[in-house]
Amino acid sequence: MTTTLNRPAAPRTAAPKQKPTFRQRLNVLDVKASPYLYIAPFFLLFALVGLFPLGYTFFVSLFDWHLLKGQGEFVGMANFAEVLRDRFFWNSLFNTMSIFLLSTIPQLVVATAIAAVLDQHLRAKTFWRMSILLPYIVTPVAVAMIFANMFGEQYGLINNILASLGIDRIMWMNETLPSHIAIATMVNWRWTGYNALILLAAMQAVPRDIYESAAIDGAGPFRRFFSITLPSIRPTMIFVVITATIGGLQIFTEPKLYDPRSAGGTARQFQTTVLYLWEMAFQRQNFGQAATIAWLLFLIIILFGIVNWLITRRIATAGDIRKIRTRVTSRRVR
Amino acid sequence: MTVIENTKPESTRKFPLRKRIFGNGHRPGFLTYGLLFAFFLASAYPLWWSVVIGSRSNEALGQTWPPLLPGGNFWTNVGEVFDTIPFWLALGNSVLISGIITVSVVAFSTLAGYSFAKLRFRGRNGLMVAVIATMAIPTQLGIIPLFMMMRTLGWTGEIGAVVIPTLVTAFGVFFMRQYLVDVIPDELIESARMDGASMISTFWHVALPAARPAMAILGLFTFMTAWTDFLWPLLVLDAGNPTLQTALSQLQAARYVDYSIVLTGAVLATLPLLVLFALAGRQLISGIMQGAVKG
């Protein structure tokens, strides 16, 4: 049984703009808002626990501020003047730079050598790669303990060996340079293999035919290494140096645990800047000056970063593969 | 301007060229493996040394030539370690802290990285530049206000205080973005959208499966970094509720350091990561070679 209902005919002239349905509007909102929603957690959290504390550090540095008593008087730049006059601050900067250089330059040289050795047709490739990465999984705390023992002045393994060879015992703890070498050794031991793998990845990106044409042109292995490999991995090397800088200027664990009963040696002979910051904040309880030290170190690291970046832009292009390629091929064409 | 030079005469060397060419079936010789073995020894010996001393007593240190093999004192020393520090509590804390940080970093980095890699929105490039710029900022230097925040909240001594500063990292976002840009074809996202999937379900069903390998690598490195952190836990936790790293450092703080005990502790603390290394060493290596960086 059917009944036909007379419906009013639909208006012939369709509305020029149909109102979007609720669903469509929801969809538009979804498309527009989602990207922001996905990045929001990162930016909010980072602002809260990353950027805000750094900015607030500057605020604290303008006050007399005590660990327990809290905020004191506004002193303006007095903390900065004080810290810049502070012998120990400059001493800590010197130690940091010295340890940083001792733990970056040899590390880079050795890591490049290891990478070059690994960049061949090796048997048991994965085994060798894992073996040089082994130190990386030992935590800095354990590394500091193991090496503090090995570098022991009285019973240390290294001094024992030196003594048996008839060499005088070295004061690895009490003298400035030996203590820096000991701490740099900890850093080098843990990071060399890691950086070697990064450099190895860069070496493997160099096209093999370049090596072949160079070899045909009569370049020996060393010549090939210095003329092809090194220029090609230069950008990666700079990258490694930059990361080493950011990390190296903030070194804390190794010097702290090398002599756990002091803050960087009895005469501050290996007190690094972050270690001095720690002492200033939690032993001398002077938050105002500690914040000043943190802020100054922050500026130094940023400065290093900018200088690094400028140098990178200068010479990153110099190691361009294509240039070498054209040079090699043009020579062969001739 | 071309100068026509005389071409070099054919090389008249003893060895055929082929053999001398790098990477052309050329097998590395004895010297290469000798060098590799030397690197291997340098990497492994300090660890072996801590096993040797950790299984003996302090007397072993007095000998001119150190013993090469472990002694039988290991379990006694382990007992000493357990008496001195709350080892299991510290281990549990470290696992918990590193786990929370890893989950948080990986989740938020994947979300933000996907958005930067695959979605179009106003201000995308500017915000990405902001992420890259913050990668170089040493957030560790904000510890004094962070410490004050934790104290105001009354969280000092709690696990929560340790995880707060590293819940997100700029590097994680950057790393995930670099990976996802190439890995997910735009057509895949479009077809999912045509089928009527909402934005979040597109992320869930298209982006997440593709991002899995990178998530594993990022997770691995985040876990390692969190596990090895020392300065921050040292500040906000006390001796009664330590992480493995701060507990270890207490072993060394005694007036008379018994190094066999200290090194036993170092061995015990390294064991969990050795296990991780045995299971995921290949991923760790490929992660480094793909450009994972120190966090």
Question: Mean pLDDT, to the nearest integer, of B184-198?
Answer: 88
CA A170 to chain centre: 31
Identify all chain A residues contacting B145, using CB atoms and an 8 Å cutoff: 52-54, 56-57, 60, 291
CB-CB under 8 Å, A252 with B43 = no
Instruction: Answer whether B115 sits within 8 Å of A38, measured CB to CB.
Output: yes
Amino acid A154: pLDDT: 82
Closest CA to B243 of B128, B99, B68: B99
Instruction: Please give the structure tokens belonging to residue A30.
Output: 């979804």
Indicate the helix (H) or strand (E) that contains A240. Answer: helix A230-248
A-facing residues of B in 224-253 (CB < 8 A) are 224, 227-228, 230-231, 235, 244-245, 248-249, 251-253
**How far apart, in whole angstroms, are the C-alpha atoms of residue A275 and residue B230?**
12
Question: In Å, how far is A151's CA from the nearest CA of chain B?
Answer: 12
What is the arithmetic mean of pLDDT over B135-145?
85
Question: HSE-up of A120 (CA within 13 Å, CB side)?
Answer: 23
Instruction: Find the DSSP H helices in chain B.
Output: 17-20, 30-54, 74-84, 87-118, 124-135, 143-153, 159-163, 170-183, 186-194, 199-202, 208-228, 231-236, 244-252, 259-289
β partners of residue A66: A70, A286
Question: Rounded to an integer, what distance in angstroms lies between the CA atom of residue B75 and that of residue B83?
Answer: 12
B245–A36 CB contact, under 8 Å: no
Hey, of A100, A141, A217, which one would you mutate to test binding to chain B, going by the most B CBs within 10 A of its CB?
A: A141
Contacts of A114 (CB under 8 A, 6+ apart): A132, A192, A193, A196, A200, B39
Average pLDDT over residues B89-118: 95
Q: B8: helix, coil or strand? A: coil
Sign of the alpha-carbon dihedral angle for A208, A214, A219, A224: negative
* Residue B200 with chain A: CB contacts under 8 Å: 34
| CATH domain A79-321 topology | MetI-like fold (1.10.3720)
User: Which sign, positive or negative, has the C-alpha torsion A97, A100, A101, A102?
Assistant: positive
Nearest by CB to residue B112, choosing from A42, A156, A216, is A42
Q: Which of residues 250-289 of B touch A (CB under 8 A)?
A: 251-253, 259, 262-263, 265-266, 269-270, 273-274, 276-277, 281-282, 284-285, 288-289
pLDDT at B257 over 70: yes
Over 80: is that where the pLDDT of B20 sits?
A: no
Range scoring the smallest mean pLDDT among A236-245, B24-33, B188-197, B236-245: B24-33
User: What amino acid is encoded at A282 in this protein?
Assistant: F
Residues of B within 8 A of A118 (CB-CB) are 36
The domain limits of chain B are: 76-293
Q: Do the Cβ atoms of B116 and A39 come within 8 Å?
A: yes
Partner-chain residue, chosen from B42, B112, B263, that has the shortest CB–CB distance to A39: B112
Give the pairing of strands A63-66 and A70-74: antiparallel
Q: Provide Rg for chain A, Cα atoms.
A: 30
Q: List the one residue out of B74, B50, B228 whose CA is nearest residue A147.
A: B50
Say if residues A98 and A180 touch (Cβ distance below 8 Å). yes
> Across all residues in chain B, what is the average pLDDT?
84
> Regarding predicted confidence, which is higher, B4 or B118?
B118
Angle at B249 between CA B244 and CA B252, to 5 degrees: 140
Phi first, then psi: give them for residue A17, nearest 5 degrees: -125, 115
Cβ <8 Å between A126 and B285: yes
**What distance in Å separates residue A15's CA from the closest CA in chain B?**
26
Nearest CB to B146: which of A34, A53, A136? A53
In b/e form, how buried is each residue of B111-149, taking b as 16+ CB within 10 angstroms? bbbbbbbbbebeebeebbeebeebbbbbbbbbbbbbbbb
Residues of B in contact with A291 (CB under 8 A): 144-145
Residue B240 contacts by C-beta under 8 Å, 6 or more apart in sequence?
B86, B157
User: What is the tens place of the pLDDT at every residue in A280-308?
Assistant: 999 999 999 999 999 999 999 989 888 87
Rounded Cα distance between A211 and A208, Å, is: 5
Q: What is the pLDDT of residue A178?
A: 94
pLDDT of residue A7: 55
**Domain at B76-293: CATH code:** 1.10.3720.10
pTM above 0.75, yes or no: yes
d(CA B48, CA B55): 11
Q: Considering only CB atoms, which chain B residues are within 8 Å of A189? A: 42-43, 46
- The C-alpha atoms of residue B143 and residue B162 are separated, in whole angstroms, by 11
Average pLDDT score over residue span B232-252: 90
**In the predicted structure, residue B236 carries a pLDDT above the cut 80:** yes
DSSP string, B191-248: HHHHTT--HHHHIIIIIHHHHHHHHHHHHHHHHHHHHH--HHHHHH--TTS--HHHHH
Interface of B with A in 105-134 (CB under 8 A): 108-109, 111-112, 114-116, 119-121, 124, 127, 131, 134
DSSP state of A72: E
Amino acid found at A168 = D
Which pLDDT score is estimated for A287? Answer: 92
The confidence score (pLDDT) of residue B197 equals: 86
pLDDT at residue B135, as a whole number: 82
Q: Token pair of A323, please?
A: 């240039």
3-state secondary structure of A64: strand
Least confidently predicted of A45-49, A316-320, B26-30, B200-204:
A316-320
Q: Shortest CB distance from A128 goes to which of B36, B166, B276?
A: B36
Torsion angle in degrees (nearest 10) through CA of A183, A187, A192, A195: -150
Q: Residue B89's pLDDT is what? A: 94
Give the pLDDT confidence score for residue A199 in this predicted structure: 92
Domain segments of chain A as ranges: 24-77, 79-321
Residue-level pLDDT at A17: 62
In chain A, what residues touch B147 (CB-CB under 8 Å)? 281
* Residue position matching structure tokens 């902001």: B130
**How many Cβ contacts (< 8 angstroms) between chains A and B?**
305
pLDDT tens digits, B63-76: 666 777 887 788 88
Residue A207 pLDDT: 87
Residue A271 tokens read as 């007190």
Please identify every stretch of chain A with a pLDDT value under 70, giving residue numbers as ranges.
1-17, 315-334
Mean pLDDT, range B179-185, rounded to an integer:
88
The answer for residues whose C-beta is within 8 angstroms of residue B6's C-beta and 6 or more apart is none
Q: Which amino acid is at A84?
A: L
List chain B residues with CB under 8 Å of A157: 49, 61, 66
CA-based nearest residue in chain A for residue B267:
A142
Do the beta carbons of residue B106 and residue B219 sit within 8 Å?
Answer: yes
- Segment 27-46 of chain B within 8 Å of chain A by CB: 27-28, 32, 35-36, 39-40, 42-44, 46
Question: Does the pLDDT value for residue B253 go beyond 90?
Answer: no
Amino acid at position B150, single letter: M
